[in-house]
A = this chain, B = another copy of it.
């Protein structure tokens, strides 16, 4: 096991009816900005629950945060906060709303140009406003981690930052608020969480049986519950386990002390940047091709994955790896997610653009061995056509 630090101070309030606990969590004298995305938080009644729980506090609302949250939108919130003496932020939504809130919380307390927060990957963040979250979509894990991804449309850039100041003070996870999610968001969330686990697991062994076993638990749970969550949207047990799985998939625990990959994410981001394909769908396209391409570097872990996640015990090593990759692809397809670039209008000319973009963004040494160059990404993408 590699040396590591683990420190996750977010307070999780999990279960039915927990939005009412906002009253105890948000300071009584706080002036609160409630941040949300499109109309669903209003339509589903979540915002009404939030307002009811915060009765007596001064509330201002800021809606319209985009699915890939925009830098310019965040800056409008920063101005609103400064103009109104807001003292506490509450994100009500999924990963995009929470990511935007983290950036806003840091930007309000940052003296220089807020763009530096992103270009420094969070290094310049010395402080952030306190904020909590009410999660409505199990997927990104942003509710219990210090990371955020922001898109700057003018600059054509999608940049991430991390700061220990940007853990939510608390996150409320009520599985019932996910009942009304569209199937596409559920399937995307399951695939996103699945690949989050894979990025921290499918590398090479470092004698970390706790992290490996936890990761395998999360993968098996997603495989079991993903289709059930689509088939029976109002099944509390399924939605509850799914919600907790997605949180555990990216809260630092399974990634502590082990190598990490993240090349599927880096390549996938460029596909989204090109044609706005859903993030999770880009992962479902890249991952199977990448697993096959990197089978030598990942051999030991691919065999462990085949056995412990898919219960594949028969056949030669190559056959077991092939079967595990086919099972992975089949899992995404069973969620209604296509796994070929052609399904998303990406052909050979678009691959040229994606590969160039990786170079342009300095992403020239990806993966747990920093060995995947843009030329390797081209080979992987061509295999995904």
- A208 near B3: Cβ-Cβ < 8 Å: no
- B217 near A221: Cβ-Cβ < 8 Å: no
Interface of A with B (CB < 8 Å)?
1-18, 207-210, 213-214, 216-218, 220-221, 224-225, 237, 240-241, 244-245, 248, 253, 256-257
9 interchain residue pairs of minimum CB distance? A3-B15, A213-B217, A207-B237, A7-B11, A6-B12, A9-B9, A1-B240, A209-B221, A4-B14
Within the complex, what minimum Cβ distance (angstroms) separates A201 from chain B? 13
- A12 near B5: Cβ-Cβ < 8 Å: yes
Q: Once bound together, how far apart are the Cα atoms of A248 and B253, in whole Å?
A: 10
Given A3-B15, A11-B7, A15-B3, does the pair A220, B213 have CB atoms closer than 8 Å? yes
- A224 near B209: Cβ-Cβ < 8 Å: yes
24 CB < 8 A contacts A-B = A1-B15, A1-B237, A1-B240, A1-B244, A2-B15, A3-B14, A3-B16, A4-B12, A4-B15, A5-B11, A6-B11, A7-B9, A7-B11, A207-B240, A208-B241, A209-B225, A210-B241, A210-B244, A210-B248, A213-B213, A213-B214, A213-B217, A214-B214, A216-B217
- B209 near A217: Cβ-Cβ < 8 Å: yes
Q: Contacting A241 at CB < 8 Å: which of B7, B207, B256?
A: B207
Q: Once bound together, how far apart are the Cα atoms of A253 and B12, in whole Å?
A: 11
Within the complex, what minimum Cβ distance (angstroms) separates A80 from chain B? 30
- A7 near B14: Cβ-Cβ < 8 Å: no
Given A12-B5, A12-B6, does the pair A217, B224 have CB atoms closer than 8 Å? no
A4 neighbours in B (Cβ, 8 Å): 12, 14-15
A241 neighbours in B (Cβ, 8 Å): 1, 207-210
Given A213-B220, A220-B213, A221-B210, does the pair A8, B5 have CB atoms closer than 8 Å? no
A218 neighbours in B (Cβ, 8 Å): 210, 213
- A12 near B7: Cβ-Cβ < 8 Å: yes
A248 neighbours in B (Cβ, 8 Å): 210
Within the complex, what minimum Cβ distance (angstroms) separates A11 from chain B? 4
A214 neighbours in B (Cβ, 8 Å): 213-214, 217
Identify the closest chain B residue to A167 (Cβ): B9
